[in-house]
Structure 1
Amino acid sequence: MNAELRRRAYLDAMQVATWLPRTELPFAAPSRAELLAPPPAEVPLDIVSEPVAAVAEPVREVPVERPKIEIPRPGAQPRQAAVETPAAEPEPVEETPARVSAPPPRFSLQLLRAGDCALLVELPTGQSFQSRDPAYILLKDLLRAAGLPDSPQLLGEPVRWPLLVRGNMDQGPQAALEFVQSFVAARLEEQPSACLWLVGLPAIRFAGEGDEHSYNRELQVEGLGACWALPGLELLMEEPARKRELWQAMRRVRQRWSAPAHS
């Protein structure tokens, strides 16, 4: 048995299918070319076992624009960077609300005189007093209780507001107050009085500049002097309980026109 056959027998016994000698063997058959090719690289089992669908899509890189650096040339003027000026916002325009004139008040007043007192009385019906009117009868009772003549004298025609049914003249509350005060002041200048009775809310409001809280109180009004505010005649008839407070207030105020005070 020659040396070649002996080597093959040894390799078969060691289960070596492919082998290469370190040196060229004498009388050996030429080796096959595919046996001399390098073995393929081994791939790790964990990478091969992953499914293809689990591979994430590659992230696309967004190109970043690099700032352009301008190199100044000799003799060239440097360029100034354009600065964007924000547009100025228009200033809000304040709208002036349209002036709405107050509706004209509606009332009727009668100026009377009884002894040393003048009386500005609200006309409940808007018409002049009649001898049989319940309001006029109540007024006569008040005058007798105050120690004054119970037949008052008329001072001019009734003051009815608004003055004009049509027209552009201002007939609001302020105009009514100025008119009534001027009218009464002119009559009191002709015939001065010790006290001016203001009977009814319109008389108190547009002559004495008061309100319903002024009932049974004394008021000092510029140009009119001392005034006494009374509830309206119609209100006294509807609410008789108000007469008690009125009698109590009259006892304090009547000293202004009583005979001992003017003696």
Structure 2
Amino acid sequence: MLIESRRRAYLTAMQVVNWLPRTELPFAAPSRPELLETPEPLVVAPVTPAPVAQTPVEPAAKPAERVKIEVPRPTPSAGKPASKATQESEEAPLVAKAAPVPPPRFALQLLRAGRCLLLVELPTGETFQTRDPAYLLLKDMLRAAGLPDSPQIVGEPVRWPLLARGTMDQGPEAARDFVQGFLSARLEDAPCVCLWLIGLPAVRFAGEANAESFNRELQVEGLGSVWALPGLELLMEEPQRKADVWQAMRRLMARWKESNE
């Protein structure tokens, strides 16, 4: 049973202009009245044929080949609506899954020197020893700043990631929250006038800054005034950085010196 639009498509493909159905067709448009009128027969006067001269008989021309008309055929799935799952798969844009961010790896040690706290990156990941070159450099920096050169260790080193395995989030944001929470608890126990952040992991996860903030004073919510410094290992590898550290230290030195007086 054909609908009107498809029936007209078939007739157009067969080059049929006017047609009348023998019976009433379902889903068909009403017939036009002018097509139902019977035309009057034409009266043709008899005409005497004129004599025709005999001409040599030529071989009959081959009849023209009949043009092949392609009739559109409905495909099996034309009348069936696509399933909802198929439509969603075709319409939904392809979204590439983001690769999981590996957890950062660092070790930080909190120290106290006078009224200042120092969050120092451990270059080897292990606690400072008295003869470590990095620890000797730190003692020199404290003497230059007018602070005790034998800082006190505060708690165990902060090592990240916390767990070797497991489903707990240990990404950069979790590391930042953990380090800042650790420092906030220590500051409640014993406030300080300035917090030194020594090394890129300390600057990034405590000060929410990057290497461009080295030798600058920052204000961090919940931690107060902090001073961002290059790591001890970096200062030993690039001694020219010590001049920038000294210039920044001179600007801040009055703060903890006033506290000691």
Q: Distance in 2 between matches of 1:207 and 1:76?
A: 82
1:243 alignment counterpart: 242
2:18 alignment counterpart: 68
State whether residues 179 and 205 of structure 2, in contact with CA within 8 Å, keep that contact through their aligned partners in structure 1.
Answer: yes
Task: Please tell me the residue identity of whatever aligns with 1:217.
Answer: R
Structure 1 residue 80: deviation in Å?
2.4
* Cα distance per residue 1:205-225 (max 9 Å; x no partner): 000011110100001000100
Matches within 5 A, 1:173-212: 173-212=172-211
* Cα distance per residue 1:210-246 (max 9 Å; x no partner): 1110100001000100000010001000100000111
Q: Distance in 1 between matches of 2:154 and 2:26?
A: 97
Structure 1 residue 100: deviation in Å?
3.4
The unaligned stretches of length 5 or more in structure 2 are 1-13, 31-73
2:127 alignment counterpart: 128
Task: Please tell me the residue identity of whatever aligns with 2:216.
Answer: R
Q: Is 1:144 the equivalent of 2:94?
A: no
Secondary structure of 1:258's aligned partner: helix
State whether residues 101 and 172 of structure 1, in contact with CA within 8 Å, keep that contact through their aligned partners in structure 2.
Answer: no
Secondary structure of 1:132's aligned partner: coil
Matches within 5 A, 1:105-120: 105-120=104-119
Q: Distance in 1 between matches of 2:114 and 2:106?
A: 26
State whether residues 115 and 149 of structure 1, in contact with CA within 8 Å, keep that contact through their aligned partners in structure 2.
Answer: yes
Question: Number of matched residues?
Answer: 196
Task: Find runs of 4+ consecutive structure 1 residues off by over 2 angstroms.
Answer: 68-73, 75-81, 84-91, 94-101
Task: Please tell me the residue identity of whatever aligns with 1:130.
Answer: Q
Q: Distance in 2 between matches of 1:181 and 1:125?
A: 22
CA RMSD of aligned residues (A): 2.6
Task: Please tell me the residue identity of whatever aligns with 2:28.
Answer: R
The unaligned stretches of length 5 or more in structure 1 are 1-63
Q: Distance in 2 between matches of 1:78 and 1:171?
A: 67
State whether residues 111 and 120 of structure 1, in contact with CA within 8 Å, keep that contact through their aligned partners in structure 2.
Answer: yes
Structure 1 residue 191: deviation in Å?
0.4
Percent identical residues = 60
State whether residues 115 and 260 of structure 2, in contact with CA within 8 Å, keep that contact through their aligned partners in structure 1.
Answer: no
State whether residues 72 and 78 of structure 1, in contact with CA within 8 Å, keep that contact through their aligned partners in structure 2.
Answer: no
Q: Distance in 1 between matches of 2:150 and 2:143?
A: 10
